[in-house]
A and B are shown apart, each in its own frame.
Chain A
Amino acid sequence: MTIEFSKLLLNYPYFVAVVIFCLGCLCFLTQPNLLKKLIGVNIMQSGIFLFYIAIGNIYGGIAPIFDPSLPKETLYINPLTSTLILTGIVVGFSVTAFALALIIKLYHYYGTIHAPEIIKMR
C-alpha cells in the first residue's frame, strides 16, 4: 500500500488530529507527574474533538443557519458533529474536574503528585 502524499496534504486536518491524539497518548503514558498525565488525557480528547470537527466540515460550506435569501445550491457544513463535540467537551470537563479533586486529595495524603514516589511510599 502506498501513501499518496497529495491526499495527505488535502486531508491535513485528519493528520493533525491523529498527531495530537498520539502526542496526548505519549504524554499520558510517559509523564510521571499526575497533573501532566491528566493534561495528556485532555490533549488526547482535543485531538478527537478536532477530528470530529474535520469530519463535519465541507469545503466551501457556510455555517448551518438556513437563510431563504441565499441561493438553493448553497453548501452548509454538517452541524451534527459539532453538537456531538459539545457533549464530548462537557464529559471531558467533568472527568478533568473529578480527576483534579482526586489529585488534590492524593497530595494531602502523600505530599507529592509524582507517581513513582507515591508508589514507593505506599
Chain B
Amino acid sequence: MYLWENMPFVLIIVSLAGAFIMAMFARWKKDWCPYLTIISVGFSFVLSCILAYRVAGGEIIHYYASGWRPPWGIEMMIDELGAMMLLLLTGGFLLIAIYSIKSIPKEVPPSVTGWYYTCYLLTLSAMMGMVATNDFFNLFVMVEVTGIGACALVAAKGEKLSTEAALRYLLLSSTGAAFLLFAIGFVYQITGNLNMSYVAAELLRVREQYPVIIWVAISFFTIGLGVKAAIFPLHIWLPDAHSSAPSPSSAILSGLVVKVYAVSIMRIYFLVFGFDLFTGSFMRTLILVMAALAILFGSFFAFAQVNLKRRLAYSTVAQIGYIFLGFGLGTVWGITAAMLHIVIHAFMKVCLFLSAGAIYYQTGKKKVTQFTGMGYQMPVTMAAFTIASFSMIGIPLFGGFISKYGLALGSLEANNPYFIALIVLSGLLNAAYYLPILWQAYFVDAPKAKAKLKMDAIPISMLLPIVITALGIIYMGIFPNGTLVFLSKVVTKFLL
C-alpha cells in the first residue's frame, strides 16, 4: 500500500540510492556493480510498467512530497507523456546496462568501471525526476544533476578527446542551466509560484500586464533548454561529446538524454505558457526555423563525416530537428509525431550506437570506409544496423516512416506544405549517408567476404539489446496504434 501511494517517489529514490551504493561497491567489489545496476534499473522498469498501466487506465498520478500540497510543496505529476517517457527511459537504461556488462571493461580504464555505474544511475534518476516533476525549481535541480551525470559518462573514457568534449559539454550545459534558472526567476517574480500548474493559471491573469518579462522568460527557457537539447545553432557540443564517449554512454546521450530536455521544453511551452503565448511571442516561428536548419545542416554535416560514431552524432542533430519541427507546427498530428519520434528515435539511435560499439568491440574498426565485408563477419549486428538505417531513412514498415508521415500530416494541418519537401529532402540525405555504409558492408568484395561467413563473435549480452531494439523498431513500424492512442489524450490537453 505504501509503495502504491508513493510510487513516483520510490521510482526516483531507488535509482538515487543505487547510485550511492554503487559508489561503495566501486571500491571493493567492482565486478558486482553491473549486476546490481541491472537489478536496480530492472526494479525501476517494473515500477514504471505499473505506473504506465495505471495511467493508461485514465488516472493522472499526483504525488506531494511529504504531504505538502501545492502551492507550498513539491508536486510530482505523471501524465501520459510522463508515463511513456519513464517507460522509455527505464527500458533503454535496462538494455544498455545489459550491454555494458561486457562492453564497459573494454572501453573504460579499469579504475573507473565501478564509478561509471554511479554516474549511470545518477543520470537515470535525475532524468526520471525531470520527466515526473511538476515544479520549476525541482526541474532546475534535476537538469543540473542530469548535466553533471551525462558529462561524467562522457569523461569516463579518460582519453584526450573525451575529456575535452566533456569539459565543453559541462561549461555549455551549466551556462544553459544558468539561463534556465534566470527564466525561472522571472516566472516566479511575475506569478509568485513555482508549481507549473499554478504558474500556468496565474500567467493567464497577468499576461497582459507583463508582456516584456514573459517574452524574456520564454526566450530564456528556449536558450537554456535548447542548449541542452542541442537544437541547431546551439548543438556545437554534441558531435564531440557523443562520438568520443564510450559506446553505451553515446547510446544513452543520443537516444535518451537530449529527448528529456525536449519533453521539458514542450511541457513549458504548451502546459505553462500555453499555445497563444507560444505563437504570440514569435517563439514558434523561431523554433520552426531552427528545426528546419537543424534537419538540413545536421544531415549535411553527417554526410561529411568518416568516423561512424561522429556520423551518428550529427544525425542526432538532424533528428532533434524533427522533434522540434513537430511541436513547432503546433497541430495535433505534429505534436503526436514529435512525441512518437522521441520514442522511435530512441530505439533507432540506441540500436545504431550499440551496433557501432559492437563492431568496434569485435574488429576495432571505427571508420565507415573500413567496413568492407562487415555484413558477413557480423551478420546479426549488421542486420540490426540495416533495420535502424532503413527506419532512419523512413522506409515503410519501419518505425521512422510513421513519425515522418505524422510530421507530413502535421505540416498539412498547419497550412505549411513546404515542410513536406524538407522532410522528403532530409529522407534522401539520410539515405545518402546511411546506404553507403550498408553498400560497403554487404556488396563490396561480396564473393570473397561471403566465403568467410560466420556468426558474430560478440558476447550474447551485447547482442541481445541490439536485437531487441531492432525488433522494437519493426514493432513500432507495424503496430504504432497503441502508442498513438496512448498519446492522443495528452496532445489534446496540450492544445487546450
Tell yes or no: B362 within 8 A of A by CB.
Answer: no
Q: Given A51-B185, A91-B141 in contact, is the A109-B155 Cβ separation under 8 Å?
A: no
Which residues of chain A are within 8 angstroms of B441 by Cβ–Cβ distance?
Answer: none
Q: Given A41-B178, A95-B170, A95-B174 in contact, is the A81-B163 Cβ separation under 8 Å?
A: no
Decide: B164 and A122 in contact? CB cutoff 8 A. yes
Give per-residue flags for B207-223: 1 if the beta carbon is below 8 A from chain A beta carbons, else 0: 00000100000000000
Interface residues of B in 160-174 (CB under 8 A from A): 160-161, 163-164, 166-167, 170-171, 174
A98 interface neighbour in B140, B148, B175, Cβ under 8 Å: B148
Alpha-carbon distance between A98 and B163 when the two chains are bound, in angstroms: 11
Decide: A109 and B182 in contact? CB cutoff 8 A. no
Residues of B in contact (CB 8 Å), total 28
Interface residues of B in 8-36 (CB under 8 A from A): none
Q: Per DSSP, are chain B's interface residues mostly helix, strand or loop, or mixed?
A: helix
B168 to chain A, nearest CB (A): 9
Which residues of chain A are within 8 angstroms of B163 by Cβ–Cβ distance?
Answer: 102, 105-106, 109
Decide: B170 and A98 in contact? CB cutoff 8 A. yes
B138 to chain A, nearest CB (A): 10
Residues of A in contact (CB 8 Å), total 33
Decide: B167 and A99 in contact? CB cutoff 8 A. yes
Which residues of chain B are within 8 angstroms of A103 by Cβ–Cβ distance?
Answer: 167
Decide: A41 and B182 in contact? CB cutoff 8 A. no
Which residues of chain B are within 8 angstroms of A106 by Cβ–Cβ distance?
Answer: 163-164, 167
A25 to chain B, nearest CB (A): 8
Tell yes or no: B43 within 8 A of A by CB.
Answer: no
**What residue of chain A has the Cβ atom nearest to residue B180's Cβ?**
A48
A118 interface neighbour in B147, B152, B164, B212, Cβ under 8 Å: B164
Decide: B188 and A81 in contact? CB cutoff 8 A. yes
Decide: A94 and B160 in contact? CB cutoff 8 A. no
**What residue of chain A has the Cβ atom nearest to residue B174's Cβ?**
A95
B185 interface neighbour in A44, A55, A95, A122, Cβ under 8 Å: A55
Give per-residue flags for A6-46: 1 if the beta carbon is below 8 A from chain B beta carbons, else 0: 00000000000000010011001000001001100100110
Tell yes or no: B137 within 8 A of A by CB.
Answer: yes
Q: Given A87-B141, A91-B141, A99-B171 in contact, is the A122-B178 Cβ separation under 8 Å?
A: no
Interface residues of A in 55-110 (CB under 8 A from B): 55, 81, 84, 87-88, 91-92, 94-95, 98-99, 102-103, 105-106, 109-110
Which residues of chain B are within 8 angstroms of A38 by Cβ–Cβ distance?
Answer: 171
Tell yes or no: B151 within 8 A of A by CB.
Answer: yes
Alpha-carbon distance between A106 and B168 when the two chains are bound, in angstroms: 12
**What residue of chain A has the Cβ atom nearest to residue B137's Cβ?**
A84
A-B contact count (CB 8 A): 74
Decide: B182 and A48 in contact? CB cutoff 8 A. yes
Tell yes or no: B144 within 8 A of A by CB.
Answer: yes
**What residue of chain B has the Cβ atom nearest to residue A38's Cβ?**
B171
Decide: B182 and A51 in contact? CB cutoff 8 A. yes
Alpha-carbon distance between A12 and B233 when the two chains are bound, in angstroms: 33
Q: Given A48-B185, A110-B160 in contact, is the A102-B167 Cβ separation under 8 Å?
A: yes
Tell yes or no: B262 within 8 A of A by CB.
Answer: no
Which residues of chain B are within 8 angstroms of A110 by Cβ–Cβ distance?
Answer: 160
**What residue of chain B has the Cβ atom nearest to residue A102's Cβ?**
B167
Tell yes or no: B189 within 8 A of A by CB.
Answer: yes
Looking at B144, B147, B181, which has the most chain A CB atoms within 10 Å of its CB?
B181
Alpha-carbon distance between A94 and B151 when the two chains are bound, in angstroms: 12
**What residue of chain A has the Cβ atom nearest to residue B144's Cβ?**
A91
Decide: B185 and A102 in contact? CB cutoff 8 A. no
B360 to chain A, nearest CB (A): 20
Alpha-carbon distance between A7 and B148 when the two chains are bound, in angstroms: 40
B403 to chain A, nearest CB (A): 35
A41 interface neighbour in B145, B148, B160, B171, Cβ under 8 Å: B171
Alpha-carbon distance between A116 and B310 when the two chains are bound, in angstroms: 22
Looking at B170, B178, B181, B189, which has the most chain A CB atoms within 10 Å of its CB?
B178
Which residues of chain A are within 8 angstroms of B148 by Cβ–Cβ distance?
Answer: 94-95, 98
Which residues of chain A are within 8 angstroms of B152 by Cβ–Cβ distance?
Answer: 98
Which residues of chain B are within 8 angstroms of A87 by Cβ–Cβ distance?
Answer: 137, 141
Alpha-carbon distance between A38 and B170 when the two chains are bound, in angstroms: 10
**What residue of chain B has the Cβ atom nearest to residue A99's Cβ?**
B170
Decide: A55 and B178 in contact? CB cutoff 8 A. no
Alpha-carbon distance between A24 and B226 when the two chains are bound, in angstroms: 20
Alpha-carbon distance between A44 and B176 when the two chains are bound, in angstroms: 11
Which residues of chain A are within 8 angstroms of B166 by Cβ–Cβ distance?
Answer: 102
Q: Given A98-B152, A102-B155, A122-B164 in contact, is the A41-B185 Cβ separation under 8 Å?
A: no
B281 to chain A, nearest CB (A): 16
Alpha-carbon distance between A74 and B406 when the two chains are bound, in angstroms: 59
The 4 closest A-B pairs by CB, nearest first: A102-B167, A91-B144, A95-B174, A44-B178
Residues of A within 8 A of B (CB): 1, 21, 24-25, 28, 34, 37-38, 41, 44-45, 48, 51-52, 55, 81, 84, 87-88, 91-92, 94-95, 98-99, 102-103, 105-106, 109-110, 118, 122
11 A-B contact pairs sorted by A residue (CB < 8 Å): A24-B178, A34-B167, A41-B175, A81-B188, A88-B181, A91-B145, A91-B177, A95-B144, A95-B147, A95-B174, A102-B167
